[in-house]
Amino acid sequence: MKISEVTCKSVVVKSRIYGVDYAVNPYTGCQHNCAYCYATFMKKYTNHREPWGQFVDVKVNAPSILKKQLKTLKKGRVLFSSVTDAYQPVEAQYEITRKCLTQLEHASFFVSILTKSALVTRDIDILKDLSCEVGFTFTTLDETVRAQFEPGSSALQDRLHALKEVSKAGITTYAFFGPILPFISDTPQAIATVFSILEEYVSYVIVDKMNLYNTSWERIRSVLTNWNPELIPKYATLRAGTDYESVLRKRIAKAATVPVEYCF
């Protein structure tokens, strides 16, 4: 893993994500190295030869740049983060996200955090003073599957414990169930289990299907080749089909025990 310290001219960008006004990305790259990551396009903005998931650029001046930008921005919803995980392992050392959050304590912006990391619990003291929500991503509740598809992320039990801790602290929490893994976490039973475990601790769940476009498919297929090659032809069939989305929506609607927002 190559870790580099860099400086940035801007750290807040306007977001094209529905319901989000701005995004703050304290890092470029991500140690979680998720097979299905849609942010691999960010590599073209770097000089790295390393594969995506094998490098992180730390924006060491992000907190001071954020402080300046906040003075000129219209109030709105800020997402941490859109093309990285603000609480990936390197954050434990650099605390860039924590320092950025302190700049938002009296700035009247709403902060939304989405992470796969239990490290977010470190910042409960700051989060309690913000207008905010904290979301945790779950693609599966099977630790073996998690280790294949998102090897650098927090273990599922650690993630679930963090969700409970944040919720117990009185901070609004939600879950991002996605991308739902075809033939793994998309069965009616698997979906129902996810909701039954999360319902006590989250206000709502955002769901998304797996993106099987060419770029992500190459990374996903590589994982399947080494782990479960029998799934490759099944995934290939999904790529060519058209009715999967409606089937998945029906399964989710039947199992949902809290409000659901769809990304597909």
- Note the CATH architecture for domain 2-262: Alpha-Beta Horseshoe (3.80)
- In 92-117, which positions are buried (b, 16+ CB within 10 angstroms) versus exposed (e)? eebbbbbbbbbbbeebebbbbbbbbb
Length of the chain: 264
**Cβ atoms 174, 135 nearer than 8 A:** yes
264 residues of the chain, pLDDT tens digit each: 999 999 999 999 999 999 999 999 999 999 999 999 999 999 999 989 999 999 999 999 999 999 999 999 999 999 999 999 999 999 999 999 999 999 999 899 999 999 999 999 999 999 999 999 999 999 999 999 999 999 999 999 999 999 999 999 999 999 999 999 999 999 999 999 999 999 999 999 999 999 999 989 999 999 999 999 999 999 999 998 889 999 999 999 999 999 999 999
The DSSP element (H or E) to which 189 belongs, if any, is helix 188-198
**Cβ atoms 202, 173 nearer than 8 A:** yes
Domain parsing of the chain, residue ranges: 2-262
- The C-alpha atoms of residue 85 and residue 108 are separated, in whole angstroms, by 23
pTM (2 d.p.): 0.96
Longest dimension (CA), the chain: 54
